[in-house]
């Protein structure tokens, strides 16, 4: 079929997926009890004003017309106006997303480094004390509530040192007081990504970079360690499988170094399932890690979605879910394409 045709097919298949997703979310938020318009007015309700707001938001129309209106807007790339503050939903999502993306990237790096390296190590020491300890760590890190881990790390590395008069790491937020990094010239174009570490480097400010990085340490360690358990398990079990295969014994029989056997034969052939889990976790994190964001006052998509649900903000919820659906489709497509690069037996 060829790679291009495969990607095109997958992109086209995303459309019905999004239509179904949108329809389900559209219906569910309306089935739930509660009225977003009434919520705005509090106890003093002026029926005329309520009708006026309903009209502005299009809520006075029958539900099937509301649906058609919304779908028509989507076709033009318009996610609608948020009920809570009358801002365009797409703008709100794009301003919340970089925080989530930055946290996701660093957390995944931590999770993969810790998880895959420990998992590989455990498989090479199969059934030994080292293997058992690594597995135990994996289970604990998987089971521990992420906010609890976050609070402990916060206390140990931010609050407690602070009480002793050392400022080791900041406990919350993305940057210290002051302006966010503004990005900079990149091949002649002004670029601002919203990822503070990247923007600081683009702007050439090392102090801003270090500041953003210091703020990232605790939340990304928290999320990364919490996720590493999954990677430890998937890496270990797949590598135990691969390391028992003939070609591994054959490689040892050719006198290759144990490190080569372990990584270039073992891990290399166990990568596919690891990549699958990586894609799923990455996509899930992009939807916003609500608990971590709350613990560290991070303010990304997770917080946005949480506030929208709390405020019965139909369009904001719909917008966030559709955006998330798109990200999941995109990430899984990228993962599928990567399969073909990792395994010569897979062809599109």
Partner 1 sequence: MSLEVSHLSVSYFTQKGELRAVRDASFSLAKRETLGLVGESGCGKTTLGFALARLVPRPGKVVRGSVKLDGKEILTLGDKELRKIRGREIAMVFQDPTTSLNPVKRVKDHFVEAIRAHQPETSKEEAVAKCRQILSDLGVPEDRMKDYPHQLSGGLKQRVMIGLALALDPKVLVADEPTTSLDVIIEAQILDLIGRLKAKTDLSMLLVTHNLGVVAEVADRIAIMYAGEIMELADARTIFRSPLFPYTQLLLKLVPNIEAESASLESIPGSPPDLTKPRVGCQFVPRCPFAFARCRVEAPVLTEVEPGHLVACHLYAGKEK
Give least dist CB 247 to partner 1, A. Answer: 5
Which structure tokens are listed for 98?
Answer: 């970089």
| Residue 290 near residue 320, CB atoms below 8 Å | no
Residue 190 vs 268, nearer CB to partner 1: 268
Cβ neighbours for 13, distance < 8 A, ≥ 6 positions apart: none
Compare residues 103 and 271 and give the one whose CB is closer to partner 1.
Answer: 271
39/37 Cα distance (integer angstroms): 5
Sign, CA dihedral 163-166-168-171, equals: positive
Nearer to partner 1, 55 or 257 (CB): 257
Q: Least CB distance from residue 262 to partner 1, whole Å? A: 13
* H or E element, residue 118: helix 89-124
- Residue closer to partner 1 (CB basis): 191 or 337: 337
Measured CA to CA, the distance from residue 111 to residue 231 in angstroms comes to 7
How near is the Cβ of 22 to partner 1 at its closest, in Å? 40
Contact 166, 157 (CB under 8 A): no
Residue 342: CB minimum distance to partner 1, A: 7
**Measured distance CA(200)–CA(184) in Å, rounded:** 8
Distances (CA, A) of 184 to 18, 76, 191: 35, 31, 5
Chain centroid to Cα 264, Å, comes to: 29
- Considering the complex, what minimum distance in angstroms separates the CB of residue 242 from partner 1? 10
- Residue closer to partner 1, measured from CB, 18 or 256: 256
Quote the least distance from Cβ 163 to partner 1, whole Å: 50
Element (H, E) at 334: helix 314-342
Phi, psi of 78 (to 5 degrees): -105, 115
Nearer to partner 1, 61 or 252 (CB): 252
CB-nearer residue toward partner 1: 127 or 143: 127
For the bound state, the minimum distance from the C-beta of residue 248 to partner 1, rounded and expressed in Å, comes to 8
Give the orientation angle of helix 301-310 with respect to helix 314-342, to 10 degrees: 150
| Cα–Cα distance, 277 to 272 (Å, whole number) | 9
Nearer to partner 1, 116 or 291 (CB): 116
Provide the minimum distance between the beta carbon of 347 and partner 1 in the complex, in angstroms, as a whole number.
11
Give the bridge partners for 116, in sequence order: none
Nearer to partner 1, 326 or 337 (CB): 337
Separation between Cα atoms, residue 256 and residue 263, nearest integer Å: 12
**CA 274, CA 232: separation in Å to the nearest integer?**
9
- Shortest spacing between CB 15 and partner 1, in angstroms: 34
Structure tokens that stand for 171 in this block: 């406990």
Residues at the contact surface with partner 1, assessed by CB under 8 A: 126-127, 244-247, 249-258, 260, 264-265, 268-269, 342-345
């Amino acid at each position: 079929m060829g790679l291009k045709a495969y990607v095109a097919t997958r992109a086209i298949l995303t459309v019905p997926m999004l239509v179904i997703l949108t329809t389900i979310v559209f219906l569910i938020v309306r089935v739930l009890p509660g009225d977003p318009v009434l919520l705005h007015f509090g106890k003093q309700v002026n029926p005329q004003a309520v009708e006026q707001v309903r009209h502005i938001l299009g809520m006075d129309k029958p539900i099937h017309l509301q649906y058609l209106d919304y779908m028509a807007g989507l076709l033009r790339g318009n996610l609608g106006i948020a009920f809570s503050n009358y801002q365009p939903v797409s703008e709100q999502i794009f301003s919340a997303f970089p925080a989530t993306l930055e946290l996701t990237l660093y957390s995944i790096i931590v999770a993969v480094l810790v998880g895959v390296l420990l998992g590989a190590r455990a498989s090479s020491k199969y059934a030994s004390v080292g293997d058992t300890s690594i597995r135990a760590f994996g289970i604990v890190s998987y089971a521990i509530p992420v906010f609890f881990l976050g609070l402990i790390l916060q206390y140990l590395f931010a609050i407690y040192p602070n009480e002793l008069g050392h400022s080791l790491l900041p406990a919350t937020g993305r940057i210290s007081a002051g302006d966010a990094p503004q990005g900079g010239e990149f091949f002649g174009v002004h670029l601002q990504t919203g990822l503070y570490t990247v923007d600081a480097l683009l702007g050439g400010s090392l102090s801003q970079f270090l500041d953003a990085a210091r703020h990232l340490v605790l939340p990304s360690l928290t999320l990364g360690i919490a996720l590493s358990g999954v990677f430890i398990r998937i890496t270990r079990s797949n590598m135990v499988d691969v390391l028992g295969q003939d070609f591994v014994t054959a490689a040892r029989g050719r006198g290759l170094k144990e490190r080569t056997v372990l990584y270039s034969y073992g891990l290399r052939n166990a990568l596919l399932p690891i990549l699958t889990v990586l894609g799923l976790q990455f996509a899930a994190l992009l939807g916003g890690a609500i608990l971590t964001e709350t613990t560290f006052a991070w303010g990304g998509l997770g917080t946005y979605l949480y506030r929208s649900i709390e405020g019965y903000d139909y369009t904001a919820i719909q917008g966030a879910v559709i955006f998330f659906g798109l990200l999941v489709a995109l990430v899984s497509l990228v993962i599928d394409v990567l399969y073909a690069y990792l395994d010569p037996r897979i062809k599109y």
